[in-house]
Structures are given as structure tokens and as C-alpha cells.
A = this chain, B = another copy of it.
Amino acid sequence: MIGIFDSGVGGMTVARAVEQFCPGFPLVYLGDLARTPYGSKSPAMITEYSHRNTEFLLKQGAKLIVIACNSAASTASTFLRSHYSQSIIDVIFPAVAKAAALSQSGRIGVIGTRATINSGLYEQRLQSIRPECKVYSQACPLLVPLVEEGWLERRETKMIVKKYLHPLRDQQIDTLILGCTHYPLLKKTIAPRIGRKVHIIDSSVEVALHLKKILEEDEILRTTLYSPETPNRFFVSDIPSPVHALAGKIFGRTVLLEKADV
């Protein structure tokens, strides 16, 4: 199985994209709702939680791990790669590769949680594959709570998005990476405020496309993971009442959520 973890429900946008782009490859998802959000926690804490989540997914039979949470990918991916022999794919690299390829001016913006932006990992990776590019980063800590409230197109949300994007707009970026799995749900609010000509990169879609490519190229992995009869499983470490509705919204269908003790 493909193991996918996130701090909460945001990573379900990755799971959904994996379902679409990699049919026949079952997945097991873990959303750590008991400790969500990760973005405001310390790197040491996020690493500890990511370690526990990975252990849980491996016990469920995962043979490959996707870190769907940008905050976890930014702070814990080096640790997880050094600790496990399994393939570990994180949500950051595919978005970086896409942005580096798409940007003409080399002026690239990144928005994310405070943990993601403070890690500097997007910047570091962008500059390692395209050294001349200029990266402008902006932490947007209020966007996750706004999305989780479902305030996707409210006036207050539009004002807050505008305020956050203002410095990036001033820098005349031509490409913007949505460095948090919650942000694609705000795409309609973000696009007109950053400028309609700016390419917007959705890290959820990019990581699923990257996984698809790996499965096409790596025969051993493809054979190991292909199992069209195995159903997908969705675990959460806490089941607060709004989670069913949010999951239903993301998948467009009712999803059975199982409780995980992590």
C-alpha cells in the first residue's frame, strides 16, 4: 500500500489526487487530528509526530510513504529518510521541480505555514535546481483556520489573503507555490489577488503526478504496490464532529474514517 500522512484533513487533497492519478494502487491514509495543526509547533515536535505516523503506516502495510503535510515535509523529511529504508516521497520536491520549470522570470513565491516557511526548504531546493532564481516566501498562519471554518470566499478571507500576498505581488513573481495542502481550496480567492498571469502550483496535484511517474518507471515498486482489489483505508487519530463533512467535501463521497491510536 501507499502510506500517506498529514497533520489533519488537508492531506486528503493529496490522497484524492493519488486515487485519481494512480488507480489500482491502494493507499492507507493517516490524519493526525489529535495533534493538528503542525504548522505552529516546534521542529522537534513535528519530527516526533512524523516518526510515529510513519511507524503506524508501515504497520498497516505501507511500502512507500508520502509526507502529505508541508510542515512535516519541511522539518522531518531528512530524519525520516535517514531512519527508514523505504521510499519516502514528500510533497515539496515535485512542486519545486514544477515551479523551477514553469517560471520564466525566475521570481518565485511560496506561501505556507510558519513551520514550512521558517524551515527555508522550498527556497533551498529551488535554488539547488535553479541557482539564479529569486524566492520570496510568506507565512500565512491564518489561512488554515479559515479553510477549516469553510470561510473560502468570505470578504474577511479575501482581505486576509490580499494582505498576505501583497509583498509577493510587489516582488512581481510569475509563479506561486501553494506550500500547504489546505491552500488549493482557496485557489479562487488567491488567483485574482496575486495576478491572473501568475502560475499557481498546487503541491497536492504535483506530488500525485510525481508518484504516478515513479510507478511507471520503477517496475519493482509498481509490482509491489499494485493491488486493485485492496480497498483504500482512511485513519484519523481523533474524530471531531466536523471531520466527516470536510472529508466528504474533499472526496465528493462519504469516506469511512477509522480511529488510529498513534
**Chain A residues in contact with chain B, CB under 8 A?**
33-36, 40-42, 44-45, 114, 118, 141-142, 145-146, 148-149, 151, 155-156, 159-160, 163, 238-242
Contacts and interface: CB of A to CB of B under 8 A. Distances in A.
A-B pairs, top 9 by smallest CB distance, nearest first, are: A145-B145, A45-B238, A42-B240, A156-B159, A42-B238, A35-B35, A156-B160, A41-B238, A41-B240
Nearest to A159: B156
B42 A241 contact: yes
A145 B156 contact: no
Contact of A145 (B41, B45, B142, B241): B142
Contacts of A34: 35, 41, 45
Nearest to A236: B42
A118 B240 CA distance: 12
Given A40-B240, A42-B240, A240-B42, A156 B163 contact: yes
A94 to B, nearest CB: 28
Contacts of A40: 36, 148, 240, 242
A234 to B, nearest CB: 16
Nearest to A8: B40
Contact of A159 (B36, B148, B155, B242): B155
A199 B54 CA distance: 50
Given A118-B241, A141-B145, 10 more contacts: A34-B41, A34-B45, A35-B35, A40-B240, A42-B239, A42-B240, A45-B238, A114-B242, A156-B159, A159-B159
A40 B33 CA distance: 9
Contacts of A142: 142, 145-146, 149, 151
Nearest to A33: B41
A181 B154 CA distance: 27
Contacts of A141: 145, 148-149
A141 B142 CA distance: 12
A118 B145 CA distance: 18
Contacts of A44: 238
A241 B40 CA distance: 9
Contacts of A239: 42
A113 to B, nearest CB: 11
A182 B198 CA distance: 38
